Chains A and B, each alone.
Chain A
Amino acid sequence: EDQVTQSPEALRLQEGESSSLNCSYTVSGLRGLFWYRQDPGKGPEFLFTLYSAGEEKEKERLKATLTKKESFLHITAPKPEDSATYLCAVQGDGANNLFFGTGTRLTVIP
Chain B
Amino acid sequence: GAVVSQHPSRVICKSGTSVKIECRSLDFQATTMFWYRQFPKQSLMLMATSNEGSKATYEQGVEKDKFLINHASLTLSTLTVTSAHPEDSSFYICSARVGGPNEKLFFGSGTQLSVL
A residues touching B (Cβ–Cβ < 8 Å)?
Answer: 31-32, 34, 36, 41-46, 49, 87, 96-103, 105
Q: Total interface residues on B, using CB and 8 Å?
A: 25
Interchain CA distance A103-B46 in the complex, whole Å: 15
Interchain CA distance A100-B34 in the complex, whole Å: 13
- Tell me the interface secondary structure of chain B in the complex: strand
B residues touching A (Cβ–Cβ < 8 Å)?
Answer: 1, 4, 6, 32, 34, 41-46, 49, 91, 93, 95, 102-110, 112
Q: Is the CB of B107 within 8 A of A100?
A: no
Q: Is the CB of B44 within 8 A of A44?
A: yes
Nearest-neighbour CB distance to chain A for B99, whole angstroms, equals: 11
Q: Is the CB of B93 within 8 A of A44?
A: yes
Q: Is the CB of A41 within 8 A of B110?
A: yes
Interchain CA distance A69-B80 in the complex, whole Å: 39
